[in-house]
Amino acid sequence: MSTKASIAQPHGLLADHQVIKKVRTGDVEAFEVLVDRYHGPLTRHLTYQVGDPELGADLAQDTFVEAFRSLDRFIGHRPFAAWLYGIAHNRLLMHWRHQRVRRLISLDWLTEFAATPFPLRQKDISMLYEEQDVLSTVFAELSPPLRDALLLHSLDGFTAPEIAGILGISRSAAERRISRAKEQFRHSYDELNSAEKGMERG
């Protein structure tokens, strides 16, 4: 991970590869160190992906269980964190295939708002969704490939080459997604803030 990693390694604990070595030699309890280290950040990442804290926590659990079971397949030439997030990414893809987030709204309402400048950002629209902060709303508006890249880069601190490995894409594709995601994020974030301020005044 880059030096700007937001996942801090607690001082004095073993490095990831040292923990894995212990687990492989039979000290299964040592895996808890990796859980302590990555459970919070991974759950946060997955929560922003799916927009639901409970579901994010479920997916994080599944990821750790799969990582534990597959530890003998982990090859040490890439960081454990990137490998773990790769498992999480695959879990997320399975989730999107099996389940979709649905909301029921009136077709009349939809037709009425289809012509407005920000049809999905009116306050009464957002009220039909679960309570979301601005960040969650903006993330939800990004396409999944761009959201993946942005969360991994800006939230989790992975570099573009690491993101390429996690997502199974080329390095240049990862860099393009990151730059496009940030540009779109900024645009949407500014628009959303302007719209909300306009509604507060109005």
Interface segment toward another protein; rule CB under 8 A; list 11-19, 47-55, 72-80, 82-90: 47-55
When asked if residue 84 is in the footprint of another protein (CB under 8 A), the reply is no
When asked if residue 105 is in the footprint of another protein (CB under 8 A), the reply is yes
Query: CA 109 → CA 115, 125, 132, 140, 194, distances in Å?
Result: 11, 9, 21, 21, 23
Interface segment toward another protein; rule CB under 8 A; list 14-22, 73-81, 82-90, 155-163: 155-163
When asked if residue 154 is in the footprint of another protein (CB under 8 A), the reply is yes
Write the DSSP assignment of 109-171 as a string of letters. Answer: HHHHHTTSSSTTT-HHHHHHSPP--HHHHHHHHS-HHHHHHHIIIIIT---HHHHHHHHT--H
Contact 152, 163 (CB under 8 A): yes
When asked if residue 58 is in the footprint of another protein (CB under 8 A), the reply is yes
Structure tokens at 50: 């799916």
Interface segment toward another protein; rule CB under 8 A; list 14-22, 77-85, 147-155, 194-202: 147-155
Q: Which of 47, 82, 84, 89 binds another protein (CB under 8 A)?
A: 47
Q: 7 in helix, strand or coil?
A: coil
Q: Which of 19, 20, 59, 92 binds another protein (CB under 8 A)?
A: 59
Interface segment toward another protein; rule CB under 8 A; list 11-19, 78-86, 150-158, 194-202: 150-158
* The dihedral sign for the CA sequence 73, 74, 77, 78: positive
When asked if residue 24 is in the footprint of another protein (CB under 8 A), the reply is no
